[in-house]
Each structure stands twice: as C-alpha cells, then as structure tokens.
Structure 1
Amino acid sequence: MAPFSLMTAGVSMLAKSFSVFSCTTALARCTSVLPSTYINPVKYLTSQTSGPPKRPLNGYMRYVLQQHPIVTRQNPETKPVDITRRIAQQWRTLSPEQKRPFQEASQRAMEQFKMELQHYQAQLTPAQVKQQTLEKRQKLAKRKAIRKKRELTSLGKPKRPRYPFNIFMSEHFEEARGTTSQAKMKSLLEDWKNLFSHQKQIYVQLAEDDKIRYKNEIKAWEDHMVEIGREDLVRERKKPAAKTPVAKTGTKKAKAKAVKKPAATGKSKTTTRSTKSSSAKTV
C-alpha cells in the first residue's frame, strides 16, 4: 500500500504543477495583449518617511517609455535624440482613441498621487513644512536664474572677462598632468603658483585686454537692448557722486561765524564798560 500512496501523491503534485504552469502561461498571454499601462501594479498608501511621493508621468511620457525600446530595436544605429523625435511624431499621428489608454492611466496615477501627498503632508511637523517651503523657493529661484541665463545667451550677451588664471588654465589644460578634470585643475593651480612674476604678467595683461573688450561689447549690447525695448536687461549704471553745493558750505561757515560772534560781542561789552568806568573816573 505504501508504494501506491507514494504514486498517487506524485501524480497529484504533478497535476498541481501543470495547473500552475497553465495559469501562468495564460496570464502571460493576457498581459502581452494588453498595453503596459494596464498592468502596472497598484501602489498602496504607506508612510513616506524618506520624502514626498513623486509626481506621475503624463500620457505622452508613458507612451515614450513604452515605445522607446521598440523603436531602438528597430533602428539600432539611430541617435537617441532622433528616436525621441520619431516617437513624438508617432504620438501626434495617434487618434484620440489610441491615446485614451495612456491618458486614463495617467489620470488614475494622478488621483493616487494626490491621496499619497495628502497622507504624507499630514505626517509632517511644522519644522518640516517650513523646510519644504524653503527648498521649494530655492528651486524656483534656481529655475528662474537658469531661464534668465538662457534668455541672455540667446540675445547675445557678451561673456564676462576672464581672470589671469582662467586664461592660463585654458591654454594649458590639454597638456596638464592627471587623468580627470579635477586632477588637471589641481596640477595647473600648482604650476600657476610656481610661476615667476614676469611670467604671470603676460596673463595679467591679457586679462586687462579682455576687460576692455568686455566693456566695449557690453556697452554696445546694452544700447541695442534699449533700442529693442528691453531696458529691464540693462545694468543699473552707477550715477556720479553729487557734489556738495556752495550754498551749503557757505551756510556752514555762516553758522560757525554766528557761533563765534557772541564771544566777540561779549568782548565789546567789556570794553564799553571799561571805557564808561574810565570816563566816570576822569569826571
């Protein structure tokens, strides 16, 4: 009876494994038919201790992530920039029905993101909220500075003058010692410190010439900005120091004389008194 029981147990285990295998193959077939936006696992709300939840991707970015490996496989010699452009062109040609699955998945992810963000903000302390607002302001200021720099570059603002060491480094960077850029800069700094004064004077003169170049170019550029109506990009030019008017200095001297006059009147009073007393004595 024991061998028979072992045989039945083995048959049952074999049947169970066959059923599991059939279920997994069926699931794989189903997932291969559905787009990847439908099979993303659902994230449950958890305590976000490390940081706030990340904002989900929109429908277009989901389409890009799905099509990027396919287009790359079909065009292995194409540059990544051209692949992205090709995917963007495909997205424009899609119909609203074809775009709907990606947009709906993005909408569901956005709703979940809002719930997670609300749950995360409820766990923050006042100090953490203050810190987050400060970091947000810093990020906005950084983005604003980057946009302004790009705008100035597109408008052709001249580059600022270089320092003597910068000129020396640009001339000898390729032949510097070291494999990395940091090692090369460190070796160039040591070489710069070991230079003689007459050797440094060459780069100092080049830097002075570069200052003159910048001064002329920035003046012409600012005049052009005023002509096209962009006075907001012009620097605030230093106004000449206002000279003290002569009237004010005269008033100060007059005040000083007025202060000294009472002493003089006091002396005159004593002299008149002395003359009066002498005249009385003579009488």
Structure 2
Amino acid sequence: MAATTKLSLGVQYLLWGTKSSLSISARPTTPLLQFSRWFVQSSSKFPTPPKRPANAYIRYVNQKMPTVRSQNPAGPKQIVRICASLWKQLSDTEKQPYVNDAAVEREKYKSEYEDFKSDFTIEEWGEYQDSRRQKRRKLKNRRRREELQQLGKPKLPAHGYGLFVKEMLSGSSGNMAEQMKDMKGQWNNLPEAEKQKYMSEASKAKEKYEREMQVWEKKMEDEGRPELVRGYRPQKTTTKKKKPKKKTIATKVVRKTAATAKLAAKKKPGTLSSAKWP
C-alpha cells in the first residue's frame, strides 16, 4: 500500500488491543495495510479495511450533537431527532461545506480501498468476501435475537437432557469439555425412572412455553408484526405470466409459405442464390 493513513484513536485502540499503554503522539505512521496485518484481532486472519467515511448529514450530526446535548438534557434518540430537524432547516448553501468535506473523504477512501484490495490475490479476496458475508450474517442474527428479547419473546425451555446437565453443572468447576463427556455417559446409564423425572419437568416447561408463545404471537399480530409469528408466509404480489400460445401445424405452414414468398421476391431473375436468414 503506497499511501500512509492516519488512524483514529478508536481504530488504534482496536488494533493494539489496549487503551492504557498508548498515547496519541506514539501512534504508528506505517501504512494501514501493513500495520493491521500485525495488530488485528486474533479471530480474523485478514487485515482491517479502511473505515468508510461519514456522509454530509452524519458529519453535521457529529459536530452539532455536543451543543444540542448541553442545551437539551434528553436521551440520545431525542438528541438525534433534534439534530435531524436542524439539518432539514439548513439551506443548500449552508449544507455545502459538509457535502464538500464528505466528497473529499470519499475520494480518499476509494484510493485507500483500492490499495487495500490490491494486496490480495484472487483466491484471498474470495475468502475475504466470504468471511465478510459470514460476519454480516452473524451480526444480523445477533441483532434479531436482541430485538426479540426486547419484544419479550418467551425463551425456549431446555429438554430433559439439558435440565440434567444444568443440575449437574450447578456449582461445579473445572474443564467443561471433560465434564460434558462424563455427563453424556451418566445420562445414558441413568435409569429410566430418573430420566422420566427430567423429561416430565421439560414437558411441563414446554406446555407453559406454548401458552406464552400464543399470547405473544397474538400481541405481535395486533402490533403489526405478523412476520414474527411462527409459520408466517408473506403474500405474493407478483402477477402470473401469461403462457405463450402453442404453435399449431396450420400456423407453421402459413409462416413457412410467407417466408418462401418473401425470399422469392428478393431473388434476382437469372441468378441462383440460397436462402439467407438474418
């Protein structure tokens, strides 16, 4: 990567993995790609890409938020709404400096991203894109779980074996993997009468869960969230395509006769020429 990049303090903390032993003046000046190959999180084998710059509106909100927060002791959402209303009241001339700064940062980001991308081979770039899609999928699933938790969705209860493991692990310490192996054997060797106790408790919890889910799903339908209900299928709005009419023998004969007549009209007298199709 040819160009050097100044890292923000937050990105620098992320790459170094510490927040106490680093000062702003001691910030490394090596290129982002080379620097990030050594100081990335251990969960990823790929370098950290350049950070996408904020647009004009976000730049204005970040600049205006401290002033609005000092004048309006409200929550974060309310402060953002106030900043959004102030942005709408600005004229095009007042918005232009933020638009220009965002355009400059966007061009700089494009150059850095091209340098970042050029360091990969085709195979590495494919693996990198796959890892990005997997991370986005995990993030989407996590946000969905958090949303369902905020909406009060009942938690799926454990089955019989899960209740047995929970009881055995309560208050225990040591290697969890070894304990799980031992518990699997203990569960298999457990008498049926003992297993039935856990299975009965799990069955009661499942019945309670079903009752709570019915109430919760009814609430979601009333609040206009039917997509969260089990078995929901969205209505198809696409129109059916008309099937083309089947060609009959009579239609084929008529078309063949018309094509022959057309070719005969184009043929010059006294010459032998074959049919030419477009």
**TM-score, normalization by structure 2:** 0.47
Larger radius of gyration: 1
Q: Which has the higher helix share?
A: 1
**TM-score, normalization by structure 1:** 0.46
